[in-house]
Structure 1
């Protein structure tokens, strides 16, 4: 069931739609393979997206009048900086979102019948045919 946000307009709606696209890309990447490496990468990507959105919102709270004037180049630079910082944060222990998300995706992969790690799933049951 999709979540709807009827009160969002303009930049807020655009940011939400962009975030949904990023999350959809991560979800598809995790679903293509059920192996440990792809699930770990998907959980780190999700955490990077979250940290990036967090940094963008934090940056909005800073005062606009400062030493440097606002420009499109500055906005691009800050956006790329936020993205790079978010990726680096997610590579390490990060904020702690990747580990529980990875565990949840492992469980979902196990239910779907895709092994998340070597030996993570029991051998499939085979039905014996009676002659």
Structure 2
């Protein structure tokens, strides 16, 4: 039998920290997939934070995942909300219902990026999330 190390799910931990949290006076909805309407348009509520993990590295004791958060909101609210989310996430010794996270640090800071919409803007940031086996 092979012993395997099991790490906390980074995406679930970030979801726990973001979903329903108030940033700039408005609760943020966290999602794993963008909800779409009948014509393919993004359905609210906004601001909405899309969370996904694009891999990382594993050391002898810990694992560092690279997690990306995209925020969709009207106008400048997208990047401002993501700045607020980043400020609330970055730190050490973070306890979530999905597991313990050793640290979260910014890899790519929040930035407004091009998005094809007349009513929404998109901001994106990447974080390094360090955890140890459960």
Rg larger for = 1
**TM-score above 0.5, yes or no:** no
Question: Which structure has the highest strand share of the two?
Answer: 2
- TM-score computed with the length of structure 1 as normaliser: 0.31
Question: Which structure has the highest helix share of the two?
Answer: 1
Structure with the larger RCO, 1 or 2 (CA within 8 Å, 6+ apart): 1
- TM-score computed with the length of structure 2 as normaliser: 0.31
